[in-house]
Amino acid sequence: MKTLESIRKKGSKRKVRKFNAPKMLGKECGNEFQSSYPIEESSGTFTSHNLIMYFGDVKYHEENFSKDSCFLDILAICKKFIDVYSIGFKVTDGDGRLLKGDQDVMIMLKEHEMEKDIPVYLEKDEIGKPLSFRLPHDDLNLGSCSYVKPKVINVRISGDLRAHDKKVLVEGDVIDGNERVSIAQLFITSSKEFVDENGLEAISLPKTGRKEFELPQEAVGQYLIAKYVPVNADGKIGDSVYVVSDVCVENSNRRKVRGKNKNKVVALLQGGKKLNITFYKKRAVSDNHKSWSRHLGKIVRDRRICPVRVQTWKDISQSDKNHMWDAIKEFFSNPNIELYKDDTLEHMNTLWTNWRSTLNVDYVKSCNTREEAEKNVPSGMHAKDWEWLVKNKFLVPKFKRISDQNVINRSKAKLPHHT
């Protein structure tokens, strides 16, 4: 490329290439393109820039972007990130102004003539329409034997992870490929750590088009793994990308229960503030007694404070019980609170036992097999902890005999018992 100095030495005037983009291209992007116009150059300015296009967390550098460049050159860069023939999109400059044609590009260059790097931003636009014709850059490369390998970024699993209730959607941003012909498939695994595809259990067939999947019953208690294979319009395949769900699949066939205990009064305490609590006959009373009871219930369900993999309350170590007591005193105060430690822990024993009994009724007895019970993981319960409880507690013959006898005894009671 001739430099500005060499042109001036020859006494010639530099002519800027004009290009009138096709009207259809302008209409598809929301406005007809304007032809470029010459801008006078001044000393101390750059005649060639680095155009940096950002698409999410990914960026691309295009060197030698100058006044000889046009909007079609920007569209060609967009094609490196998305399939411009099947996805609506928009391009903006660093000030958030929409780039619609050559005139917008030339204005952007004029405003950045003192800067080497010029940022532009590519976004998907659901309102906009994809291009309805092939770019000139594609036509120039039709005879080439080499091709750019398609790839996919930002693969994600979205939707409600509940079996037989909602569907999940697998999406990804395909670069140098076509989302419609790209392939996705779902697998399940008991571990969130993914190594390779060997040993994974497929729960769906490979899908193209809209990659929406219904979750079968065997997915309950398991993590989902989505496999995404990018493919271009010519059938060329890129490298597969795998993504693991953040949580396990839940069972949608369970009965409706009370929502999660958030105890907002305690949760909103700041700066070491505490709630005053009053005791009467070994129990908490006064205005804050509800927050006290909810806090105790939350502690016995928190695996970080109260251990899950124990048979009885007596099996919990004294250090763990001291930890629970400290978690209570962190938010509640009373001049003689230490006098009520044993009574409070005994009350937590009752809450803990009742909670585990409810888990047995709602999540184990409602299942027909042991395998089904192990996969019927309660919300908020770690899958490995639940597996331990089912194997070592709820389905142990001795525990089952006691549980069944308790059901018979309660059925004979004349007055219902309320705790």
pLDDT in tens, the chain (419 residues): 444 344 344 444 444 444 444 444 444 444 444 434 334 444 567 888 999 999 888 888 888 888 888 888 888 888 888 888 888 889 999 888 888 888 888 889 888 888 889 999 999 887 877 876 677 766 544 444 445 788 899 899 888 777 655 688 899 988 888 888 899 999 888 877 777 777 778 888 888 888 888 888 778 888 889 999 998 877 788 899 999 988 888 776 554 455 556 677 888 887 788 999 998 888 888 888 888 988 998 899 888 889 999 999 999 999 999 999 999 998 999 999 999 999 999 999 999 998 988 888 888 888 888 888 888 888 878 888 899 999 998 888 887 777 776 666 666 655 555 54
pLDDT of residue 253: 55
- Which of 229-243 are b and which e, b meaning 16 or more Cβ less than 10 Å from the residue's Cβ? bbbbeeeeebeebeb
Are 188 and 224 spatial neighbours (Cβ–Cβ below 8 Å)?
Answer: yes
Rounded CA separation 225/227 (Å): 7
Q: For residue 253, what are the contacts with CB-CB under 8 A and spacing of at least 6?
A: 163, 164
Q: What is the pLDDT of residue 110?
A: 86
Distances (CA, A) of 53 to 48, 62, 85, 93: 16, 8, 19, 9
Report the CATH number of the 151-251 domain: 2.60.40.2700
- Measured distance CA(86)–CA(231) in Å, rounded: 13
* Ranges of CATH 3.10.20.90 domains, the chain: 8-133
**Tokens standing for residue 106:** 């030339």
What architecture (CATH level 2) is domain 8-133? Roll (3.10)
Distance (Å, rounded) from C-alpha 197 to C-alpha 242? 9
- With vertex at residue 132, the alpha carbon angle to CA 126 and CA 135, rounded to the nearest 5 degrees, is 110
Chain centre to alpha carbon of residue 408: 47
Q: What is the pLDDT of residue 21?
A: 44
Burial 350-386 (b: 16+ CB within 10 A, else e): ebbeeebeebbeebbeebeeeebbbbbbbeebebeeb
Q: CATH 2.60.40.2700 residue ranges in the chain?
A: 151-251
Going from the C-alpha of 173 to that of each of 55, 194, 265, the distances in angstroms are: 10, 21, 43
Report phi then psi at 99, rounded to 5: -95, 115
| The predicted structure's pLDDT at residue 118 | 92
Distance CA 329, CA 324 (A): 9
Indicate the residue type of 293.
S
Q: Are 118 and 204 within 8 A, CB to CB? A: no
Amino acid at 300: V
Task: List C-alpha distances in Å: 119 to 48, 58, 115, 205, 289.
Answer: 14, 13, 10, 42, 59
Q: What is the pLDDT of residue 400?
A: 75
